[in-house]
Amino acid sequence: MRIDVVTIFPGYFDALELSLMGKARDRGFIDLRVHDLRDSAHDKHRTVDDTPTGGGAGMVMKPEPWSVALDGILGDAQADADPLIIFPSPAGEVFTQSMARELSSESHLIFGCGRYEGIDQRVFDEYSERGRVRLVSIGDYVLNGGEVASIAMIEAIGRLIPGVVGNPESLVEESHEDGLLEYPSYTKPAEWRGRRVPDVLLSGNHAAISAWRHEQSVERTRRVRPELLGD
């Protein structure tokens, strides 16, 4: 999968050189290209923001640098790629595990990281008319910029690309995959500080273990996130 990111803080994305995402890039599963939006601003100060039209607090990202950056990326995309542009936004649809799974089969994603009060609306309108655009929120809170939201989405999407996670079975039993939160996990030793691992997990009875884990998942979901069960 090719992933382009447009940001005024490219350094944030150094985090994606680490761990599983770093390996996924080294092994060619993810081709991540990070672009500094300021390189697309052609005035002396490399300006990317201006005051809000109509008044109000803060600054808004200007459309011109965005069009230079996005046109450059789209112009360089593979002819058959049909890239999807994702603008992280607290005003967007909420990112979920099922959206991550859906997006993991895309061939080319472009993340446009807003800052300040966000990006001039005409950028969304222009690129929605020309291609595929989604505004996506990672939750009901406000971050300073789209970088952390993009990293969260890239990691959630990237680990679902076939081959990225060594044992695909480990992806199946996770929280949100089946609409439930995951059951509690334990490892060795069987007893630690007087706390014993539940006996059933030491029984070797796989049917009983499976039933216990399902029960725990349902109980935890009911307690922590009852709305997932429709309660």
Nearer to ligand SAM, 40 or 89 (CB): 89
* Omega before residue 189 within 30° of 0, cis: yes
Whether residue 110 contacts residue 73, with contact meaning beta carbons closer than 8 Å, is answered with: yes
Q: Residues 6 or more apart from 56 whose CB is under 8 A from it? A: 117
Give the binding-site size for ligand SAM (rule: CB under 6 A): 19
**CA dist list (Å): 109 to 43, 48, 142, 169, 229:** 28, 22, 23, 26, 32
- The verdict on whether residue 36 carries a ligand-binding annotation is no
Closer to ligand SAM by CB, 36 or 182: give it: 36
Of the two residues 60 and 73, which places its CB atom closer to ligand SAM in the complex? 60
CB of 92 to ligand SAM, least distance (A): 7
Binder to ligand SAM among 10, 72, 145, 179 (CB under 6 A)? Answer: 145
Alpha helix (H) residue ranges in 35-145: 63-75, 97-103, 121-130
Helix axes 63-75, 121-130, angle to 10 degrees: 20
Q: From the CB of 94, what's the least distance to ligand SAM, in Å? A: 9
- For ligand SAM, the nearest residue by Cβ is 114
Q: Under rule CB under 6 A, which residues in 57-116 are in contact with ligand SAM?
A: 88-91, 113-115
Q: Is 226 in the site for ligand SAM (CB under 6 A)?
A: no
Residue 42: partners with Cβ closer than 8 Å, 6 or more residues away: 68
d(CA 98, CA 179): 10
Q: Is 112 marked within a binding site?
A: no
Q: Which CB atom, from 70 or from 180, has the smaller least distance to ligand SAM?
A: 70
Judged by CB under 6 A, which of 15, 59, 77, 143 binds ligand SAM?
A: 143
**Terminal-residue alpha carbon distance, the chain:** 38
Is 139 annotated to bind a ligand? Reply is yes
Residue numbering of the annotated binding site for S-adenosyl-L-methionine: 114, 138-143
Give the footprint of ligand SAM on this chain (CB under 6 A): 88-91, 113-115, 117-118, 137-139, 141-146, 149
